[in-house]
Amino acid sequence: MPKLRAAVEISMYPLGGDYIARILAFIERLNRHPELTVVTNDLSTQIWGELPRIMSVLAEEMARAADGSPQLVFVVKVLPGIAAPSAAGTAAT
């Protein structure tokens, strides 16, 4: 059975410290997973792929971001059944 495709939108809010560097490091780590499509804009990061894989990557990377950091807040929206946009529609605006 094929795995469910999904789109996930995530925003990370470090509550103190060098928050910009922590956000950029988190996004950089998400981009290291070639099986996912990751698009970042000024407000959030969108991720497309197989839902189980997205959730696995997010669990790993969220734990890594929280390890040794000040308190973090993540806001996540999950849209099951959504395929990745075409290549022409992936540019951040």
CA separation, residue 70 to residues 10, 17, 88 (Å)? 19, 7, 38
Helices and strands in the chain: count of H runs, count of E runs: 2, 4
Q: Across the chain, which distance is largest between two alpha carbons, in Å?
A: 45
Per-residue pLDDT at 70? 74
pLDDT in tens, 22-47: 999 999 999 999 999 999 999 999 99
Assigned token pair, 66:
């929280």
Predicted model pTM: 0.84
pLDDT in tens, 43-79: 999 999 999 999 999 999 999 999 877 789 999 999 9
Assigned token pair, 40:
């970042």
CA dihedral of 78, 5, 72, 91, whole degrees rounded to 10? -100
* Exposure letters 71-83 (e unless 16+ CB within 10 A, then b): ebeeeeeeeeeee
Assigned token pair, 65:
């971001």
Per-residue pLDDT at 1? 60
Classify residue 26 by its DSSP letter.
Answer: H
